Amino acid sequence: MKTKDWFTDWFNTPYYYILYKDRNDIDAQLFMKNITELLALPKTTHILDLPCGKGRHSVFLNSLGYKVTGGDLAENSIKIAKEFENENLKFKVHDMRKPFNNTYDAVFNLFTSFGYFEDDKEDLLILQNIKNGLNKDGYFVFDFLNAAYVKANLVKQETKIVDEITFNITREIKDGFIFKNISFFADDKNHSYTERVKYLDETKMKTYFEKVGFKITNIFGDYKLNKFKVETSNRLILIAK
């Protein structure tokens, strides 16, 4: 299926997972452990992991004893995630621009899973859906890149070889977006994809959160939950109610 939305194509290909194979699941698990402890989430908490990809955070959260639902637009990823399902771990295809059918005690949006859309209205719509999908006193955990840090440390060109595929990567910031162009030759074909994430810094995100009525309770700058520092933090992690 070809669509104008880059994320529908790229995240549904096997190449996306090959390129990011080395992403650090140890870090991801440490983050989940730290955040659930900090928020003192009881084991009865029902967490929505949105978008969940192939479910790496969902599976780990479930192993900690939580009831978890994972949702993602990428059908291929959900198909794989479903292999891990159990009574307290479910996955479904869901577009986060659509309202949820259920409510949850916590919603996690992890690993730069936001800012894909042109119009600010769509960003706000997603946040509003999340807000509406939270039970009273429920938490929203938002884990995004630190745009200012990306800008100051932009790696304009890079080559990565993974599983014998040479990925040529270029990055640029223009028109309010961070672009990552990825081209490679695989399976007898040249491929080219562009990841595009909106340049959303701390100030802009705070404005978004305010607009939908979220109250920010904590701001962290990395998965160890150190304080956010605009010059040095690699993540922007907002916790809201």
Ligand X SMILES: C[S@@+](CC[C@H](N)C(=O)[O-])C[C@H]1O[C@@H](n2cnc3c(N)ncnc32)[C@H](O)[C@@H]1O
Nearest approach in angstroms of CB 17 to ligand X is 9
Residues found near ligand X in the complex (CB under 6 A):
7, 11, 51-53, 56-57, 72-74, 77, 95-97, 110-113, 116
Cβ distance to ligand X smaller for residue 42 or 142: 142
By beta-carbon proximity to ligand X, the closer residue of 42 and 234 is: 234
Give 28 or 216: the residue with its C-beta nearer to ligand X: 28
Give pairs for 150-158: CB < 8 Å, separation 24+. Answer: 150/178, 151/178, 151/199, 152/231
DSSP 70-126: EEES-HHHHHHHGGG-BTTEEEEE--TTSPPSS-EEEEEE-SS----SSSHHHHHHH
71 vs 185, which CB is nearer to ligand X?
71
Rank residues 53 and 221 by Cβ distance to ligand X and give the closer one. 53
Query: 188: which 2 tokens?
Result: 């007898």
Nearer to ligand X, 95 or 175 (CB): 95
Please count the other Cβ atoms lying within 10 Å of the Cβ belonging to residue 162: 15
Min separation Cβ 188 and ligand X, Å? 26
Encoded amino acid at 145, one letter: L
For residue 70, the minimal CB distance to ligand X (Å) is: 9
CB of 140 to ligand X, least distance (A): 14
Rounded to a whole number of angstroms, the minimum distance from the CB of residue 238 to ligand X is: 16
Question: Given the complex with ligand X, which of 149 and 196 has the nearer CB atom?
Answer: 196
Note if the bond before 51 is cis, omega within 30 degrees: yes
Shortest CB 53 distance to ligand X, Å: 3
Length of the chain: 241
CA distance 159 to 168: 5
* Contacts of 53 by beta carbon, 8 Å cutoff, 6+ apart: 11, 72, 74, 77, 81, 111
Tokens 């990809």 label which residue? Answer: 53
> What is the Cα–Cα distance from 32 to 46, expressed in whole angstroms?
14
Q: Is 30 helix (H, G, I), strand (E, B) or coil?
A: helix
In angstroms, what is the minimal distance from the CB of 88 to ligand X? 19
CB–CB of 111/90 below 8 Å?
no
